[in-house]
Amino acid sequence: MPAPTQATFDRLRALAAIDHPEQRESRDVLEAFTGEKVTTIPVGTVEDVEQAFVRARRAQKQWAARSAKDRAKVLLKFADLVNERRADLMDMAQLETGKARQYAQEETLDVAMTARWYGKNAPKLLEQKNTAGMLPVFTNTRVRYQPKGVVGVIAPWNYPLTLAVSDGVAALAAGNAVVLKPDSQTPYCALAAVELLYQAGLPRDLFAVVPGPGGVVGTAIVERADYLMFTGSSATGATLAEQCGKRLIGFSAELGGKNPMVVTKDADIAHTADGAARAAFSNSGQLCISIERIYVEREIADEFARAFAERTANLALGAGYDFTNEMGSLASKSQIETVAAHVDDAVAKGATVLAGGKARPDLGPFFYEPTVLKNVPEEAICFASETFGPVVSIYPVDSVDEAVERANDTEYGLNASVFSGSTKQAQEIADRINAGTVNINEGYAAAWGSTAAPMGGMGISGVGRRHGAEGLLKYCESKTIAQQRIIGIGGIKGIPRTVFLGVVPPIIKALKFIGR
């Protein structure tokens, strides 16, 4: 299956919210498998962002005036188009990131599932709701939801399809406009997905894509947005949160993770080894919710380590626009340098390599073997810091209590995994782990794919949630409208005010007998 053609890039480039691209600076876009230039993308400016916001604000007023059901029809059509064009979208995701095709497919499925869930459920979630008033019968209270306005989205390179548009889909469902800055490595994935939104009937000015550097385009978005959604590192997230705080606008972020897995002594070792390989090496480990720490009860630690190392060593590693390979390349030179530095540091400080542990330039410039370590000392970089690559460490523990304690001994709290032979024990462990999502007998996909449930991080792993009702209503301002009837708060005509005020406390006290 071929990579996208130059004609495809030319068509998509025209969708960027940038005027006169031929007259400005451009940036090379590389094929991650080979490191070779395949095309360019014009670099956005502050002026481009300003114009995108001007057009988006105008379009947003008209979009918000449409009914939630009408807006939802566009999202449902978009979901259908994503499924129809999934092969093209997978090609683009593989080209820009080097990921294996199964994880490119994972992206397209997530985009379609998320769009369909909001298309089906947003109208109901956004309906006006009646709620209990201060005084039964006499106080009528209702809650309405209205859009924030223009939502800024700053998306990463590791899942450049779903993390570029899925958060935007929720914002659109709520009646907002979106201005998106995709990562400079992966602009065409965002443009390809947004093209399908336009084809589904979304007004073009309502969703603008402005490629460019974070210090220019990203900053300009933060300075203009009514709400910001960010996915990326915890350090950058903290900086953006501070900037949003100064403007008193809402902020949501999915950030880094040093995600643990707990394996109990009665776990099925073969099943767990296979699940751990998916959990640690999906998308070449370049996944905020991938597993980087495995705590195994000592009784089975050696047997598990052998089985997991063997499964890891046998992973099919390579380049190709098909489903042959289980793991592709890393996305860039900087990624492979970081991964190599973490592994080399750990080994120099006493860690043992059970599988992998070296770059594979024979396969491509950014390939690194999936790597399993043991005996990683606390002073090693990868002991507590996120690697964000295909590296995982195994730690034997004496008990489940120790495993949970060590799993929670981190500033992060994004995702976790539990493998156990006992469902009851697995559920109890999951309840004790401090993470926004916990998967049982799976690494991350079960929770991530449950689009009706909220997903996000604790600690320095994030603020707010995506998916589910929370992922929609965060893009809304809730408005309470209360109408007082018959009996006014200040009194009743014809009754002395002192008499009325003396009656109020007994009335309020009596409310407890009717469940208020």
**pLDDT tens-digit readout, 249-267:** 999 999 999 999 999 999 9
CATH code at 6-255+468-476: 3.40.605.10
Cβ burial of 423 (10 Å; 0-12, 13-18, 19+) is: exposed
Contact 433, 260 (CB under 8 A): yes
Cα 259 off chain centre by: 15
Please give the CATH number for the structural domain made up of 259-450: 3.40.309.10
CA distance 244 to 248: 6
b/e string for 391-405 if b means 16 or more Cβ within 10 A? bbbbbbbeebebbbe
What pLDDT, on the 0 to 100 scale, is given for residue 508?
A: 66
**Identified catalytic residue from 195, 254, 292, 326:** 254
- Asked whether 254 and 457 are in contact (CB, 8 A), the reply is yes
**Which positions ≥6 away from 360 have C-beta within 8 Å?**
317, 367, 368, 369
Supply the pTM of this predicted model: 0.94
Residue 161: per-residue pLDDT: 96
Helices (H) and strands (E) in the chain, counts: 18, 18
| Domain assignments of the chain as residue spans, ordered by start | 6-255+468-476, 259-450, 488-515
Nearest to 40 by CA among 2, 8, 5, 9: 9
Residues near 388 by Cβ (< 8 Å), separated by ≥ 6?
158, 256, 285, 286, 288, 335, 338
DSSP state of 218: I
Task: Quick: pLDDT tens for 454-466.
Answer: 999 999 999 999 9
Question: Which residue in 191, 194, 222, 168 sits closest to 53, CA to CA?
Answer: 222
Question: Cα(54)–Cα(125) distance, rounded to whole angstroms?
Answer: 29
Q: What is the pLDDT of residue 485?
A: 81
Distance CA 357, CA 258 (A): 19
Contact 343, 371 (CB under 8 A): yes
User: What's the pLDDT tens digit per position in 273-303?
Assistant: 999 999 999 999 999 999 999 999 999 999 9
**H or E segment and range at residue 409:** none
Name residues of the chain where pLDDT drops below 50: 1
**Residue 136 confidence (pLDDT):** 77
C-alpha 251/C-alpha 232 separation (Å) is 13
Question: Is 254 designated active site?
Answer: yes
